[in-house]
Amino acid sequence: MKHGAQRTWRLRLYVAGQTPKSITALANLQRLCESRLAGRYHIEVVDLVQQPQLARRDDIVVVPTLVRQLPPPIRKIIGDLSNVERVLVGLDVLPRDDGA
Amino acid sequence: MTESVGRRRPVPKSAGNGKHPLAKAPTGIAGFDEITNGGLPRGRPTLLCGGAGCGKTLLAMEFLVRGALEYGEPGVFMSFEETVDDLVENARSLGFDLQRLSARRRLLLDYVRLEPSELTEAGAYDLDGLFIRLGHAIDSIGAKRVVLDTIELLFSGLSDRFVVRAELARLFRWLKAKRVTAIVTGEREAEHLTRHGLEEYVSDCVILLDQRVVEQSATRRLRILKYRGSAHGGNEMPFLIDDHGISVQPITSLGLAHQASTAHVSTGVAGLDEMFGKKGYFRGNSVLVSGTAGTGKSSLAAHFVEAACRRGERCLYFAFEESPSQITRNMRSIGIDLTPWMRRDLLRIHAQRPTALGLEGHLVAMHRLIEEWRPRVVVVDPVTNMIAVGSETEVKAMLARLIDFMKLRQITALFTSLTEGGGAAERTDLGVSSLMDVWMLVGNPEANGERNRTIQIVKARGMAHSNQVREFVMTDDGVTLVDISRRADGSVAIGSARGAEQRHALAGRARPSRSHRAK
């Protein structure tokens, strides 16, 4: 897959309430997307406490779970996304030399 | 949501004993509630572990289905292994219609697809998603029962051991807080009970299932490893899965408390009744008829059955060698027509190859059939095929339970036993015969160039009985005992010798007939 400007990232972040993990995960995700995927990403946040029925949609048991809907194939990245390298691998974004 | 459901049974209140009675939730599984004194710990999780294919999923499913149908308790089945379609299909083989239960909101099937290869771990996480999802499922149908099957798969994609342990502990606490009666299934590991040491988290009840292949037949066993506040035997109990679900053969010692009957039942053969003091067996007796091939064991069984049917009593005939049509045909040849009784549903012949199930499986199945139909007379023809399987003491213990079970219900049972030729009959039967009240030997010894049929009573508890070896013949009217012809020296003449001596006696001095001398 070519890493051209035409690629877009559709991401869905599942959290369970405003827990420290939820807040950390969203902050990490936003920072990373802004620095690496600016203008080419869309984040949807699903709070399962508010919408428990949505847990079935993407088979969520662990939170936080980030679901990469696009680009295919679907991948799930679990955790508060503090491990940037692994998030990048999960998102299929090439790591930069400066590590951010 | 109080629609009326089928055969709802009353829910027993706390069945615990001692200072801290533990409330129980009946499973409705045949035999299981007996051995657990009422079922699983109510409102608490139970760990059910075992290897692949041992019946964990089906047992757990039956617990939910019966809970919904018989106890008015809806249930949630969360599967990490089988899809909803698979669950529906597999449950159909037990006669359960999961789709119908789901449509009526008595059951909620939730398949959680976990694909470790799709997962990437990137930081701290917990299982709140599962709790929310399960909580939502429970609340949506008002579930009182929950199954999680199989728990290991839930953690298969999670590499953080520390998190897994912490979340497991939290899962069991959460289930308790939810006050649902839960079964969590776990995969049996070679060394440990389960991979994650699940048993440490479950303080109330741990059950182990096991399937072994002994002599080419699979035998399923269930063992209660732990049951807080309940007396339980640590013994293994055989169980069976068939089109009625699961049946566990209760090990509960029925003991010897049964009332010994003084009523008699005919053996079906007039001459044989005479040998038992003119009355026959006691009701509730277990009778063993042993002999080599072709000596007339099944014929005696057929007489016994026919006599019972004539009295209007239900007879259940377990045939392990011949099909029902073979049996009825053979018996017709000696003038016993069993078909009218089958038509009137007084006689049921249950024919099954001995190899179709393990011995324990057979015993469990018999147990269930007897419980369901409640016959007054049972025939097992022959019991030998079953004895050949499994270790002798084990078999004997289980046969003893079956016999006790029948005695308790005052069922008169007749077992035939095929023995090897060569005079070993008495030895080979010893193991089983000690369980029996009545033991008869039939034979066709060869003497003076001919074979003649003989019958003798080896033992008959609590009954006066003849000690003679009697001759019998198979006629168009069935088994007929031949009048005794006693020689001057007291010995009994049989076969041609008897005929000749009797003719001689008649022709000679007008000696009084010596017939009917059986005491």
What's the ipTM? 0.89
Residue at B351: amino acid letter: A
Among the ranges given (B140-144, B256-260, B270-274, B447-451), the one the predictor scored with the smallest mean pLDDT:
B256-260
Task: Summarize the confidence of residues B24-53 as an average pLDDT.
Answer: 88
Whether residue A80 lies within 8 A of chain B, CB to CB, comes out as yes
Query: Domain containing A39: what range?
Result: 9-91
Whether residue A93 lies within 8 A of chain B, CB to CB, comes out as no
The rounded mean pLDDT for chain B is: 82
Residue B484 has pLDDT above 80, yes or no: no
Q: What is the CATH number of the domain that holds A51?
A: 3.40.30.10
Do residues B234 and B250 make contact, with C-beta atoms less than 8 angstroms apart? no
Q: Please, which pLDDT band fits residue B465 given cuts at 50, 70 and 90?
A: confident
- Name residue B378's beta-bridge partners: B316, B413
Whether residue A41 lies within 8 A of chain B, CB to CB, comes out as no
| Helix H or strand E segment including B47 | strand B45-50
CATH code of B265-466, in short, is: 3.40.50.300
- From B110, B129, B136, residue closest to A62, measured CB to CB: B129
The pLDDT > 70 percentage for chain B reads 79
Task: Report the alpha-carbon distance of residue B362 to residue B434 in Å, rounded.
Answer: 21
Interchain CB distance below 8 Å, A19 and B128? yes
| Answer CATH for B41-116+127-248 from 1.10.3470.10, 3.40.50.300, 2.60.40.290, 3.20.20.140 | 3.40.50.300
Q: Which residue has the tokens 């919408």?
A: A51
- Domain ranges for chain B, please list them: 41-116+127-248, 265-466
What SS3 state is found at B82? coil
B160 → chain A, closest CA residue: A79
Distance from the A88 Cα atom to the nearest Cα atom in chain B, whole angstroms: 10
Task: Summarize the confidence of residues B336-361 as an average pLDDT.
Answer: 84
Q: What pLDDT, on a 0 to 100 scale, did the predictor assign at position B116?
A: 82
Q: What pLDDT, on a 0 to 100 scale, did the predictor assign at position A83?
A: 92
Q: What pLDDT, on a 0 to 100 scale, did the predictor assign at position B358?
A: 67
Cis peptide preceding B120, ω within 30 of 0: no
Interchain CB distance below 8 Å, A25 and B120? no
Is residue A100 a part of any domain in this protein? no
Token representation of residue B147 = 């199954």
Active site annotation includes B70: no
Residue B253 has pLDDT above 50, yes or no: no
Distance from the A92 Cα atom to the nearest Cα atom in chain B, whole angstroms: 11
B64 CB-side CA count, 13 A: 33
A49 CB neighbours in chain B (<8 A) are 132
- From B112, B126, B132, residue closest to A49, measured CB to CB: B132
| Helix H or strand E segment including A66 | strand A65-70
B159 → chain A, closest CA residue: A78
Is residue A65 a part of any domain in this protein? yes
Q: What pLDDT, on a 0 to 100 scale, did the predictor assign at position B404?
A: 81
Q: What pLDDT, on a 0 to 100 scale, did the predictor assign at position A64?
A: 95
DSSP letter for each residue of B117-166: GGEEE-S--BSHHHHHHHHHHHHHHT-SEEEEE-HHHHTTT---HHHHHH
Q: What pLDDT, on a 0 to 100 scale, did the predictor assign at position B386?
A: 67
Mutation site, A13, A78, A86, A92, interface B, largest B CB count within 10 A: A78
Q: What pLDDT, on a 0 to 100 scale, did the predictor assign at position B161?
A: 83
Q: Quick check: do B41-116+127-248 and B265-466 share a fold?
A: yes
Looking at per-residue pLDDT, the higher value among B164 and B74 belongs to: B74
Interchain CB distance below 8 Å, A81 and B122? yes
Q: Phi first, then psi: give them for residue B207, nearest 5 degrees.
A: -125, 135
Interchain CB distance below 8 Å, B120 and A76? yes
Active site annotation includes B82: no
Whether residue A13 lies within 8 A of chain B, CB to CB, comes out as no
Classify the C-alpha dihedral B50-B55-B61-B64 as positive or negative. negative
Task: Report the alpha-carbon distance of residue A91 to residue A70 in Å, rounded.
Answer: 9
Interchain CB distance below 8 Å, A79 and B110? no
Interchain CB distance below 8 Å, A82 and B123? yes
Q: Rg of the Cα trace of chain A?
A: 13
Exactly one of B199, B321, B394, B501 is catalytic; which is it? Answer: B321
Is residue A19 a part of any domain in this protein? yes
Low-confidence ranges of chain A (pLDDT < 50): 1-2, 99-100
Q: What pLDDT, on a 0 to 100 scale, did the predictor assign at position B492?
A: 67
Distance from the A4 Cα atom to the nearest Cα atom in chain B, whole angstroms: 24
Q: What is the number of domains present in chain A? A: 1
Do residues B479 and B295 make contact, with C-beta atoms less than 8 angstroms apart? no
Q: Phi first, then psi: give them for residue B14, nearest 5 degrees.
A: -45, 130
A14 → chain B, closest CA residue: B129
Looking at per-residue pLDDT, the higher value among B252 and B432 belongs to: B432
- Between A and B, how many CB-CB pairs are < 8 A? 99
Distance from the B19 Cα atom to the nearest Cα atom in chain A, whole angstroms: 39
- Distance from the Cα of residue B85 to its chain's centroid: 31
The tens digit of pLDDT for each residue in B212-234 reads 766 555 678 888 888 887 666 56
Q: What pLDDT, on a 0 to 100 scale, did the predictor assign at position B2?
A: 40
Kindly tell me the burial class for residue B501, based on how many C-beta atoms sit within 10 Å of its own C-beta (0-12, 13-18, 19 or more).
Answer: middle
The tens digit of pLDDT for each residue in B314-343 reads 999 999 888 999 999 999 999 999 999 999
Q: Phi first, then psi: give them for residue B472, nearest 5 degrees.
A: -135, 160
Task: Summarize the confidence of residues B398-411 as an average pLDDT.
Answer: 82
Residues 6+ apart with CB under 8 A from A23: none
For A16, which DSSP code?
A: -
Residues 6+ apart with CB under 8 A from B356: none
The tens digit of pLDDT for each residue in B163-215 reads 888 888 899 999 999 999 999 998 887 666 676 677 777 778 989 998 876 65
Exactly one of B81, B82, B167, B360 is catalytic; which is it? Answer: B81
